[in-house]
Chain A
Amino acid sequence: MNCQQYEELMMKHFDRIASDNEITVLKKHLEKCSQCRYQFEQLESIIGSLEKDFEPEIPAEFEANVMIKIDRYENTKNSSQIKTNSILAVMMGLILFIPPAFIIIDFENISIYEILMGFFPSLSFFSDILLVVLSVIKLMGGYISGNNELSSMMQYVGPAIIFITVFISISMFIHKVDNNL
């Protein structure tokens, strides 16, 4: 065996997989070869230092700090889920609400001025929001019906908006179900 091969034996020794016989063979060579002995002693010292002379001090509060981070993560995850659920609920509500609203509300008898003037002192918040939304729709409807080009496009916009809203809602619902699974 040459020194290169004894170097491989050294590596097996430091890997802790050398057999007793191999260690004996290596030690015999090291007694005779000063170069290999020097190399072996240096490596032994370096590896010994890497493995034994150093132990990090872990702070006593380490576990507690990790659990705080995990609690924060869990809280953030829960509030994101609540937000997603709320958005889904609003979108489903709009899909269900808008078409009947167009059918039920009599636009001819709504006065925009009266609605706006009535909004600010009113305490029935959600009803007023609804009326403002409807009056904006009426304003837009009035503008669009006066414009022939826009009027002809409107027949496509409505169904397209509904389709996109349904698609997004279903995608979000499926994504949410996947996450829970």
Chain B
Amino acid sequence: MESTDIEIINQCINGDPEAFTMIVTRYKKLIYSVVINMVQDIHEVDDAAQEAFLKIYKSLDQFNPEYKFSTWAVKITTNLCIDRMKRKQPKFVHLDEVKELQSNSDSPESLLIKKEKRRSINNALQALPEKYKIPLILFHQSGLSYEEMADVMNEPMTIVKNRLHRARLMLRERLQVDRKE
């Protein structure tokens, strides 16, 4: 039977750091999805994701088992990415270097159109203020619920909800402006 998150955490705290590999395998997709949209330099994504897991490991003794581990881990990752963004000059992600989901039914032309669309959406997303960009990433990319987002962002749920709604409209307006240009 697979170990629970709290069982693995206790193993790590009691002197078995190798057990943390299971946590990494379990949550790497989630953490990566948060990092890749917040750390704008593609070359830094891998390093930032590794740093996020290291920070999570160092903080294991502070984890409260009353809460969901995934939410707590995303919170640490989000804060780490925000700190990194503040230290560095923003650069847009080069989508050429990121693998995209390819459907067998996609023709080369539709793949190109999809890629271009994704690029423009991503550019518009990165141009949003942080307080609007983060809920979009957490909800639509990382799949967090409103309760989880409220916990990660340290904001009441009503504010998170309003920001997410506002963010969607801002993203749409931004893309309309870009299209006109």
Interface residue ranges, A against B (CB under 8 Å): 8, 11, 14-15, 39, 42-43, 45-47, 49-59, 62-63, 65-67, 69-71, 73-74
Given contacts A11-B165, A65-B50, A69-B50, contact A50 B140 (CB under 8 A): yes
| A-B pairs under 8 A by CB, number | 95
Interface contacts beyond A52-B101, A66-B53, A74-B17: sample of 16 additional A-B pairs, CB < 8 Å, sorted by A: A14-B168, A39-B172, A42-B172, A42-B175, A46-B172, A49-B114, A54-B118, A55-B100, A56-B99, A58-B32, A62-B28, A67-B20, A69-B51, A69-B54, A70-B54, A73-B58
Residues of chain B lying within 8 A (CB to CB) of residue A73: 54, 57-58
Of the A-B pairs whose beta carbons lie under 8 Å apart in the complex, a sample of 16, sorted by A's number, is A11-B165, A42-B175, A50-B136, A50-B140, A52-B101, A54-B118, A56-B45, A56-B98, A63-B25, A63-B28, A67-B17, A67-B18, A67-B20, A70-B53, A73-B54, A73-B58
Which DSSP category, helix, strand, loop or mixed, fits chain B's interface? helix
Docked pose: A54 CA to B114 CA in angstroms: 10
Chain A residues near B164 (CB-CB < 8 A) = 11, 15
Q: Is the interface of A mostly helix, strand, loop or mixed?
A: helix
- The reply to whether the CB of B171 lies closer than 8 angstroms to some CB of chain A is yes
Chain A nearest Cβ from B26, distance in angstroms: 10
Whether B79 sits at the interface, judged by CB under 8 Å, is no
Interface 1/0s, chain B 81-107, versus A by CB < 8 A?
A: 000000000000000001111000000
The tally of residues in B whose CB lies under 8 Å from a CB in A reads 42
Q: What are the residues of chain A within 8 A of B58 when measuring CB–CB? A: 73
